[in-house]
Structure 1
Amino acid sequence: MKTVYRKIRRGSVLPDSPLDASPGGPKCQRATNFEDQLDGDACKEAMSLLNHATDKFLDRKGLVDQDFTLLFDADISSRLLQKWDTFFRPNVIKEAKRLSSTAELSQLLLSAEGDLDEARIYDQEMASLLLLIHLLPTPPGGPKSPKIGACDAVERLVIFHKSCGSLEEHLQNNQHQHPYLLAVGRQKSKIDSFYITLDKHLIPCQANRFLGAFDELFKAHFVFNLSYDSALVSFYTFLQTTVYNIDVGKMKESPRVKDLRARLFNQTVTLS
């Protein structure tokens, strides 16, 4: 997948973020756990196939998850899907209820708890992930990158696209410089398909649910060595170190990330 992306990305360089100074994270060079590495003529043949089949490989589902698992292992790769609903989602909801109420936050809470179908903006899993953005404020801005609010940061993570609209037109009009999730469907609570949008290319997600699709989006950063969006650094760093347990102790974490992790796990100790 890296070879394919390197070809389509020539002449297009995504900007770095403050995370790049960290010794860990998605831009850290890693050795794969792939034992059956091709060599000799077999390797040359495979490389030739990749050079002439870019679109074919981009359309194949599951390659991002496959490459991520080669970088780490199956246990790390499965952690979000295994632990989010059972532990993180209920505790994130509890923490979000402590925030000052806003219309957007109230809608996300209703959706995360599944109380009212008509109030849902996304399904319970995705709504709880978006609550995490509200719990981890965007970093201070600067002259070239002013600080944005949580609602604007959400739009950098996932964009809803009505199934009757043109995907090509969306790609041409979008100005995002970092990968994000494109959710295509009739309405936000009924999504038909998901795509990772990257440099005006669509990579179809294997998952048909929000949590699985987001899992693939997160993994794409590591597969393609991409920086996190500066507005979502705390959000992604929390998931990386606290949920996936990647580069724990190496990543530069904000005090807010450390504090939220401590509170979430303290709740478990208190309840037990």
Structure 2
Amino acid sequence: MRPRNNSLKQVKEFPSLRDITVSTEEGHNHFYSSECHTGFIEYRLWTMRRFLSPSKRKYKNTGSAKFGRGQESAHYSGEELLGSKDLEEKKMWMKHTVPKDIHKREIVNCLKSTFPNRRQWILSKHPSVTEIFNEYPRLADYEGEMIELEFSTLHQENASKFLARFGAFYAPRIQGMVKAERPDIIRKLADADITDDNLKAIIMLAELMPPANSKVKQPNKKEGTDVTSTISDKQKDSICIVQPYMLCVQSETEMKYGLVADGKLVCFEEAGALNAFDKLFKLHYVCNLEFSKSLSSFYNFGESYLCDVTDVKPRSFNVSLNAAISHIKL
């Protein structure tokens, strides 16, 4: 009981450390959780205990959570599947239909009707992003609207939470925390010439993550407008699989954003940085992709607090960070 009592004393002595997002356990559970016998301090010391033999450990692991989209069943059974003939006809129609406004409603209806078959195929066969977009090319059209539609089918109650919460609540508080407590992050971003406050806050949030999980590259500026060669060069220079990422193209008058996945570019003519990142996050769910391991804590924060994905449990560090951000006074 001593670790629990110590945790209770901490939040009683320093009320700003209390986790205000929960109504139970008096807000101390990120310092010590009786359920998993760990907390923020325990998390910081885990590297010291990992080398102990199982016989010397007080608590034994019963299994580890799988990062990424491992929660879904490999056999999607949400709706009735189309027969092979109907499915192939709809897929062929979409492949040969030009994505114009006049065809948009029909394309949306076609994607909805083929969703159960597509989901079962993605979960059971684990195709690459390229294979998914080749099979269903209209998913990459209409400036990411079809990605939004697909995610809404999977998580209707969470579809708009990120856009509603981040800019209004989290972005100003993250910037306030960084300005007050992390001048090193301010110096890192000084030369990046980022004018969008939401994009700046997203990068700051990634930088606030634990060192082992915050290998975040600063925006890489490249002169010229040859976007195709830029994407191709990144694919060639990488020694491993390139995770989906945001691409920012800056002109003299404006900044445009897009997503790149497996070398495939999804352009956004009017969307801002926040909207582009929202679609980047949702693309991982739509294509059943694991998040980058170096950014797993960052995405865990997004799943837990920015989007409220119900089957994702926040890590102890993120519970503490969220409590600290929530107490920032503007």
Question: TM-score normalised to the size of structure 2?
Answer: 0.57
The change in CA–CA distance for 1:82 and 1:22 in structure 2 (over 3 A counts) is same
Asked if the contact 1:26/1:226 (under 8 Å) is kept, the reply is: yes
The change in CA–CA distance for 1:243 and 1:43 in structure 2 (over 3 A counts) is same
Structure 2 unaligned regions, length at least 5: 1-63, 98-133
Radius of gyration: which is bigger? 2
Could you say which structure has the higher strand fraction? 1
Task: Give the equivalent residue in structure 2 for 1:143.
Answer: none
Could you say which structure has the higher helix fraction? 2
| Mapped pair 1:210 → 2:291 | no
| Mapped pair 1:28 → 2:92 | no
Task: Give the equivalent residue in structure 2 for 1:42.
Answer: 86
Find 2:152's aligned residue among 45, 49, 69.
69
Q: How many residues align?
A: 221
The change in CA–CA distance for 1:100 and 1:56 in structure 2 (over 3 A counts) is closer
Task: Give the equivalent residue in structure 1 for 2:11.
Answer: none
The change in CA–CA distance for 1:99 and 1:134 in structure 2 (over 3 A counts) is farther
Task: Give the equivalent residue in structure 2 for 1:123.
Answer: 196
Question: TM-score normalised to the size of structure 1?
Answer: 0.68
The change in CA–CA distance for 1:223 and 1:160 in structure 2 (over 3 A counts) is farther
The change in CA–CA distance for 1:120 and 1:68 in structure 2 (over 3 A counts) is same
Asked if the contact 1:138/1:234 (under 8 Å) is kept, the reply is: no
CA distance in 2, matches of 1:139, 1:44: 46
Paired residues for 1:1-272 under 5 Å: 22=65, 25-29=68-72, 39-40=82-83, 41-49=85-93, 54=134, 56-57=137-138, 58-61=140-143, 62-73=145-156, 75-102=157-184, 104-106=185-187, 108=189, 120-139=193-212, 150=214, 153-155=216-218, 164-174=224-234, 175=238, 177-186=242-251, 190-192=254-256, 194-205=257-268, 208-248=271-311, 250-251=312-313, 253-267=314-328
Task: Give the equivalent residue in structure 2 for 1:147.
Answer: none
- Shift in Å, 1:80: 1.3
Asked if the contact 1:159/1:183 (under 8 Å) is kept, the reply is: no
SS in 2 for 1:195: strand
Deviations 1:237-268 (A, max 9, x none): 101111100035x43x4432121112233458
Structure 1 unaligned regions, length at least 5: 1-20, 111-117, 141-149
